[in-house]
Amino acid sequence: MTLPSWAPGGVDYDRPSPARVYDAHLGGFHNFAVDREVARRIAEVMPELPEILRANRSFLRRAVRHLVEAGITQFLDLGSGIPTVGNVHEVAQQANPGCRVAYVDIDPVAVAHGEALLAGDDRTLAVQADLRRPEQVLSDPRVRGLLDFGRPMGVLMVAVLQFVADADDPAGITARYLHAVVPGSYLAISHASQEGPTPSRAEQATEAYSRAVTDFWLRSRAEVTALFAGTELVDPGVVYLTEWHPDSPDDVGDDPSRMSTFAGVGRKR
């Protein structure tokens, strides 16, 4: 395979990656044939998936704007994925040019794109690390050099905890990140769920994804809500993606449960 100039070496490009499959669903260009084939097969099972992923990105942008309006000027984006238009730093810095953003992802392709995108911007950085190891992320000198853990920040875990197994204790992981930030900080989460109008189709898509890419866990609204322990939920609480502070009532749609993904934002007490 002839790799494009943006592709880092030392990566097995014969295996699909979550970040690149996500990019393929969004219509991005930073993916390969193997990623697009997986995206196609999953979309055959769950045709609404690309719409769900676009709604998820829209939630991320709305959450960031909300936090900047609340006075947050620094963000830790865990499982950030491959940069696309409307990234966290673009949204945040448009609202407040002084905002700082640390992107963290386990995928070297996602990080390589982040580094290229952020070159020359001393208020942003991209770090390759496993969010399941909070101590590794939180002790990284680059993260510590950019973000001030003595001031409130926004911790973003958007469309990533569904890749964390129950055995890895996603609630415990989330709690460790919350413990590291000061009161007044915020936590934003979105998470795929089997709840919705087509639970059997969601389960089939999850099985297809797990076979082709990596393991995937759907969780209930109650389980997602439990991840916010130690915070006060911002109204309207944990809801379907399009229901969280929509830009327009028309964006909610006739059946928000079609999104099969819950989202919320909590403020650390």
Question: Residue 47: inside a domain, yes or no?
Answer: yes
pLDDT of residue 197: 65
Residue 58 sits in a domain of what CATH number?
A: 3.40.50.150
pLDDT of residue 16: 86
pLDDT, mean over the chain: 90
> pLDDT by residue (tens digit) across 35-94?
999 889 888 888 888 888 889 999 999 999 999 999 999 999 999 988 776 789 999 999
Q: Which long-range contacts (CB under 8 A, 24 or more apart) does 224-229 make?
A: 224/189, 224/191, 224/193, 224/262, 224/264, 225/264, 226/171, 227/161, 227/170, 227/171, 227/174, 227/189, 227/191, 228/187, 228/189, 228/264, 228/266, 229/171, 229/174, 229/175
- Say whether pLDDT at 181 is over 90: yes
Question: Residue 2: inside a domain, yes or no?
Answer: no
Q: Taking residues 222-227, what's their average pLDDT?
A: 98
Q: How many residues does the chain have?
A: 269
pLDDT of residue 198: 65
Question: Residue 104: inside a domain, yes or no?
Answer: yes
State the Cα–Cα distance between residues 56 and 236, nearest whole angstrom.
17
pLDDT of residue 176: 98
Rounded to two decimals, the pTM is: 0.90
Question: Residue 144: inside a domain, yes or no?
Answer: yes
pLDDT of residue 44: 85
pLDDT bracket for residue 31 (50, 70, 90)? confident
> pLDDT by residue (tens digit) across 117-139?
788 889 999 999 999 999 999 99
Question: Residue 68: inside a domain, yes or no?
Answer: yes
> pLDDT by residue (tens digit) across 142-166?
999 999 999 999 999 999 999 999 9
- Say whether pLDDT at 6 is over 70: no
Closest CA to 206 of 192, 190, 195: 192
pLDDT of residue 178: 98
Question: Residue 258: inside a domain, yes or no?
Answer: yes
| Domain coverage including residue 123 | 18-268
pLDDT of residue 249: 84
**Least confident range of 38-47, 57-66, 173-182, 198-207:** 198-207
Question: Residue 1: inside a domain, yes or no?
Answer: no
Question: Residue 10: inside a domain, yes or no?
Answer: no
Q: How many domains does the chain have?
A: 1
pLDDT of residue 105: 94
**Least confident range of 41-45, 174-178, 213-217:** 213-217
